[in-house]
């Protein structure tokens, strides 16, 4: 607040600037009035009653909107002063309290589908985030983007992540998310993929902290729920921008900043830098949610200890072992047997059936997701703290191919000696993932039946071939870490 007052008084220096501020205030007040009247009756309205194309009243022509050649931030006027918020300080405080010390589920394109989030909630996750939603397409009522706004009843604190570089679009998409049940909105400032970057979205927003600040302030001012901002350490290969970016997000009045401890260029090749996350938490007042490379409870404790972050967020760790939330919440290590894991996967299958229906069309849609999930599930290995704790404190377990070796050491046997069921669950072949998904569907909710069907698959002679093919793919670099987030399909 003090900084904002100082900023406002420094702006009173010249008459044209004063006029600019007065006009901005006028614009902002009338915009806020417009929004208040919209929300006055929102509790009785259905999501469809919100006109996603509704725009704030036209802004007086102050000066040409800033355009930097790539249509970035094109509706973010310079000198936009802060306004009275729709969201109250009390709401923001409550939100901050309710995420404190928690392990949040990261926004995960494809992976963060509603049935998977429901599974995570059933295993102890208390804060969930949607897949990334392109604000513009959602406002144009694109059904795929609109579907991403849907929240399950069991999700008690659910955020919708949006990608936008325009205040108006962000505000309207935030309102849409709110009407659909979101408890908070998260702004994506980390997506490295080309289609996002070239539109000036995602990680491109990290290039100019001052502009990011205006964008975040504008969206936070116009939506009735808290706004969080998910950033990386920088848009290039330098980690230095992270400090200025977090400062910008704090000054803009976001409720929290989520920091994925890598730069855009680093992708998943380097370990997430929790020291930098910690340094930012120490120098800033805004709650920092640390993110990157958490696979075990002891890694979570270690990284939280290093950083003193307000909360942590997990992505790939949840995709590999959704029970990581149970471990974090109950402070235990859980190394489920093959049968227990099959029971978890069967629960997910049931949630897909609830979501898509248990008919032929539903199965077709389920098969677009479940084999993909097996691409992560198959990477699960028991990694007991006694054996791996020390190693994990030096280098994240997720960043290594350690798991393959680990399994043999832990269980005191060679890979070939593992029970066939265990080998099947670890198999990286896509054909195996499709067969297991089919078996879960056919098990009709019975764990015993699912285990039987899995054992049949493991014994029918395909497993050896799948293992050989997967090994060849891994050696040629086709398997490996693409599925762990190196691929260009990843939006984070
Ligand atoms: C399959 C997949 C999809 C992702 N999709 C998104 C996304 O839509 N939005 C986003 O901000 N980050 C996305 N990310 C990045 C994650 O949210 C997270 O920041 C990153 O994976 C680091 O956390 P982790 O080491 O716990 O996986 C995605 C990551 C993966 C693996």
Q: Which of 191, 349, 378, 427 is catalytic?
A: 191
Question: Between the CA atoms of 284, 289, 290 and 294, what dihedral angle is there, to the nearest 10 degrees?
Answer: 160
The model's pTM: 0.83
Q: Whose CA is nearest to atom 4 of ligand 1?
A: 108
Q: Are 376 and 319 in contact (CB under 8 A)?
A: yes
What CA–CA distance (Å, rounded) separates 313 from 201? 22
Nearest alpha carbon, ligand 1 atom 3: 108
| Phi-psi label, residue 257: left if phi above 0, alpha if psi -120 to 50, beta otherwise | beta
CATH architecture of the domain 89-334 equals Alpha-Beta Barrel (3.20)
Q: What residues does ligand 1 touch, defined as CB less than 6 Å away? A: 106-111, 131-132, 161, 188, 190-191, 230, 260, 291-294, 314-317, 485, 490-492
Closest residue CA from atom 10 of ligand 1:
492
Q: pLDDT truncated to tens, each residue of the chain (492 aa)? A: 343 333 333 333 333 333 333 334 434 343 433 333 322 222 333 333 334 444 544 444 433 333 333 334 445 444 444 557 899 999 999 999 999 999 999 999 999 999 999 999 999 999 999 999 999 999 999 999 999 999 999 999 999 999 999 999 999 999 999 999 999 999 999 999 999 999 999 999 999 999 999 999 999 999 999 999 999 999 999 999 999 999 999 999 999 999 999 999 988 888 999 999 999 999 999 999 999 999 999 999 999 999 999 999 999 999 999 999 999 999 999 999 999 999 999 999 999 999 999 999 999 999 999 999 999 999 999 999 999 999 999 999 987 765 555 555 555 555 558 999 999 999 999 999 999 999 999 999 999 999 999 999 999 999 999 999 888 887 776 654 433 433 334 555
Domain ranges for the chain, please list them: 89-334, 341-475
Give dist(CA 112, CA 268) in Å, integer. Answer: 19
Can you tell me the distance from the alpha carbon of 476 to that of 469, in angstroms, rounded to the nearest whole number?
11
What's the rounded Cα separation, in Å, for the pair 411 and 420? 14
């Amino acid at each position: 607040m003090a900084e904002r007052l100082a900023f406002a008084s420094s702006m009173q220096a010249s008459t044209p600037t004063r006029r600019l501020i007065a006009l901005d205030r006028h614009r902002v007040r009338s915009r806020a009035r417009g929004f208040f009247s919209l929300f006055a009756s929102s509790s009785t309205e259905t999501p469809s009653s919100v006109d996603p194309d509704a725009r704030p009243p036209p802004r007086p022509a102050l000066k040409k909107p800033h355009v930097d050649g790539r249509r970035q931030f094109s509706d973010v006027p310079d000198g936009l002063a802060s306004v009275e918020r729709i969201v109250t300080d009390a709401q923001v405080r409550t939100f901050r309290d309710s995420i404190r010390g928690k392990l949040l589920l990261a926004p995960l394109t494809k992976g963060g589908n509603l049935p998977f989030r429901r599974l995570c909630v059933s295993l102890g996750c208390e804060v969930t985030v949607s897949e990334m939603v392109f604000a513009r397409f959602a406002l144009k009522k694109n059904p795929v983007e609109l579907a991403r706004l849907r929240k399950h009843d069991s999700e008690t604190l659910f955020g919708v992540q949006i990608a936008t570089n325009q205040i108006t679009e962000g505000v309207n998409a935030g309102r849409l998310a709110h009407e659909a049940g979101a408890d908070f909105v998260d702004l994506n400032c980390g997506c490295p993929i080309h289609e996002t970057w070239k539109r000036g979205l995602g990680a491109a927003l990290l290039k100019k902290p001052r502009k990011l600040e205006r964008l975040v302030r504008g969206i936070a001012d116009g939506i009735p729920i808290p706004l969080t901002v998910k950033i990386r350490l920088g848009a290039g290969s330098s980690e230095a921008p992270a400090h200025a970016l977090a400062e910008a997000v704090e000054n803009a009045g976001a409720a929290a900043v989520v920091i994925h401890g890598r730069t855009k260029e680093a992708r998943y090749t380097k370990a997430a830098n929790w020291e930098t996350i910690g340094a930012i938490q120490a120098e800033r007042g805004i709650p920092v949610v640390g993110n990157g490379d958490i696979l075990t409870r002891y890694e979570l404790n270690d990284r939280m200890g290093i950083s003193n972050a307000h909360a942590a967020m997990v992505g790939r760790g949840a995709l590999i072992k959704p029970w990581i939330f149970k471990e974090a919440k109950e402070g235990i290590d859980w190394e489920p047997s093959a049968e227990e894991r099959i029971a978890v996967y069967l629960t997910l299958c049931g949630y897909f059936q609830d979501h898509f229906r248990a008919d032929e069309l539903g199965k077709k849609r389920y098969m677009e997701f479940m084999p993909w999930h097996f691409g992560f599930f198959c990477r699960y290995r028991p990694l007991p703290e006694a054996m791996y704790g020390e190693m994990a404190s030096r280098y994240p377990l997720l960043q290594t191919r350690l798991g393959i070796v680990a399994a043999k050491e832990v269980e005191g046997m060679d890979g070939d000696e593992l029970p066939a069921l265990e080998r099947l669950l670890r198999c990286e072949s896509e054909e195996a993932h499709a067969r297991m998904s089919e078996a879960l569907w056919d098990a009709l909710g019975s764990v015993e039946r699912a285990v039987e069907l899995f054992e049949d698959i493991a014994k029918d002679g395909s497993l050896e071939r799948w293992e050989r093919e997967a090994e060849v793919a891994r050696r040629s670099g086709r398997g490996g870490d693409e599925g762990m987030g190196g691929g260009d399909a990843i939006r984070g």
